[in-house]
Amino acid sequence: MDIAPLPRRTFLRGAAGLAAAGATGLLLPQTARAQGQEPRIYSCAEWGARPPADALTTLDHPANRVLIHHIACPNSTDYSLAHAFQVARDDQHDHIDNNGWSDTGQHFTVSRGGYRLEGRHGSLDALKSGTTMVQGAHCPGQNTNAIGIENEGTYTSVEPPEAQWASLVVFCAYICRQYGIGVDEIKGHRDFYNTECPGDRLYAKLPQLRDEVSMEVAHQRAQLAGRQ
């Protein structure tokens, strides 16, 4: 079962690099824009997730906040899709086997190469519906209302790479649009819990993230209006 107060930063081992950087399959933010479609998000089935250890709870209401995290793992220079999949598997193993949670704690993960992955089972379908959310285990007091996004890496003294940042902007814009969340509700883990997460450097960039997401939301809405 999910025990929210448990520390969730035990994932310190590096994810194994399994393929060369630049592997095919990444739908870059500018590509998603040009095609006017939702960003590519890899499902639990695609990255080879284990089944949840316990039944998960789907809540009959939309999310009203986005919480930004970092995994606090090594800043790998393997930006491949295979590596991103391994990060997701390692994170899930850590959360189930070490934290005793039902599944991956956060709803989604963004790799340093910019790949977006479903974290907790059911989160992707709930996001697409825009009306429900899966109860998470990423922050005490926020698990029934906030979508948790874990970013691969440690951002206490360095900033995330550009591919990860650009992907996060597009992803947050899509989440905000789907759930009707205002960009002022994009927050950091430390805003609601005594933790260094998401790292000093990434936390300092949250105002910029909100500004860029606001512009991206407007862009996505204009694209949708133009297709109607």
Q: What is the tens place of the pLDDT at every residue in 177-188?
A: 999 999 999 999
Q: How far apart are CA 228 and CA 220, in angstroms?
A: 13
1 pLDDT band (50/70/90 cuts)? low
Q: What is the tens place of the pLDDT at every residue in 74-83?
A: 999 999 999 9
Q: What is the tens place of the pLDDT at every residue in 102-158?
A: 999 999 999 999 999 999 999 999 999 999 999 999 999 999 999 999 999 999 999
**CA separation, residue 72 to residues 29, 86, 162, 210, 217 (Å):** 24, 15, 18, 22, 29
- With 0.75 as the threshold, say if the pTM is over it: yes
CATH architecture assigned to 58-226: 3-Layer(aba) Sandwich (3.40)
Each domain of the chain, given as residue ranges in start order, spans 58-226
pLDDT (mean) for 4-28: 35
Q: What percent of the chain is predicted at pLDDT more than 90?
A: 79
Q: What is residue 225's predicted lDDT score, i.e. its pLDDT?
A: 83
Query: b/e string for 149-176 if b means 16 or more Cβ within 10 A?
Result: bbbbbbbeeeebbebbbbbbbbbbbbbb
